[in-house]
Amino acid sequence: MAERGVETHFQISARLDDVATERLDLRRFREGDLDQLEGIFAKPEVWKFPYGRGLSRGETEAFLSAQIAGWETHKFGCWLAIERKTRKAIGYIGLSIPTFLPEILPAVEVGWRLDPDVWGRGYATEGAKKALERGFEMLGLREICSVPQSGNAASERVCRRLGMRWRRTVRIPPNDRRGPLQAELYTLTMAEWAEGRLDSPPGRLRGTRHEMEGSSRRQHRKHE
């Protein structure tokens, strides 16, 4: 039901294509990607948030099948991320529907999950920027969100580098694989993306989590 709402609300008019960045090739998943993904997803660091462990081959196969089916249904999804200089798969980056958080639907989320061997190289930010570009320019989305789990400081830093604004802390309901979670909701509108945040000095992003929390406290004190 939520997925139908996303499709009609956003009126996706074009299928998302495979793309390239300066250092990455980003393409749709294929059935033959299982072996590459299994080695990455088995590492506990990759799925620390939200499971605190790596995935089994069966779980990775289910993930891959869901991604392939999602592309057929929605015309967009996450890409397999390939490091161009080594031609090795390093995880995924892209767009998805955050069905795990019904309260914000209809919505589209930008997300990433990469091999720890390539952490710290800026690949998540590089790939996510391309996902935002395609989401706004090709799919015509009005807003894109990201929902890193609370405590995932690295992903929150990526959100801020992308120019996203922290909105509020949210509670993700439990499912059959994990308990309830706390997460941080970040958003970026098409207008904000188009502006390019030109009015923010280098290294300074407006609307970060701490600024929004501070503003909320100041507003509260005014009314005390």
- For 51, 113, 160, the CA distances from 175, given in Å and listed in that order, are 11, 20, 28
Q: Minimal CA–CA distance to 165: which of 106, 209, 128? A: 209
Q: Minimal CA–CA distance to 158: which of 188, 192, 182? A: 188
Q: What is the CA radius of gyration of the chain?
A: 18
* Helices 57-74, 2-10: inter-axial angle, 10-degree rounding: 40
How many angstroms separate the CA atoms of 224 and 219, rounded?
Answer: 9
Q: Looking at residue 84, what DSSP letter applies?
A: T
What's the pLDDT at 213? 56
What's the pLDDT at 128? 98
The DSSP line for 92-123 is EEEEE--TT-GGG-S--EEEEEE-GGGTTSSH
What's the pLDDT at 17? 94
Positive or negative: CA dihedral 52, 128, 155, 188: negative
In this prediction the pTM is 0.85
Q: Minimal CA–CA distance to 6: which of 186, 128, 135, 124? A: 135
How many angstroms separate the CA atoms of 139 and 148, rounded?
Answer: 23
Superfamily of domain 2-222: Gcn5-related N-acetyltransferase (GNAT) (3.40.630.30)
What's the pLDDT at 214? 55
What's the pLDDT at 8? 36
* Termini Cα distance of the chain: 42
Q: Please give the angle made by the CA atoms of 77, 146 and 219, to the nearest 5 degrees.
A: 155
The DSSP line for 58-78 is HHHHHHHHHHHHHHHHHS--E
Q: Please give the angle made by the CA atoms of 115, 111 and 144, to the nearest 5 degrees.
A: 165
Q: Please give the angle made by the CA atoms of 219, 106 and 167, to the nearest 5 degrees.
A: 20
Tens digit of pLDDT per residue, the chain (224 long)?
A: 333 344 434 567 678 999 999 999 999 999 999 999 999 999 999 999 999 999 999 999 999 999 999 999 999 999 999 999 999 999 999 999 999 999 999 999 999 999 999 999 999 999 999 999 999 999 999 999 999 999 999 999 999 999 999 999 999 999 999 999 999 999 999 999 999 744 544 333 445 555 555 544 444 444 44
Q: Which residues contact 50 (CB under 8 A, 6 or more apart)?
A: 149, 172, 178, 181
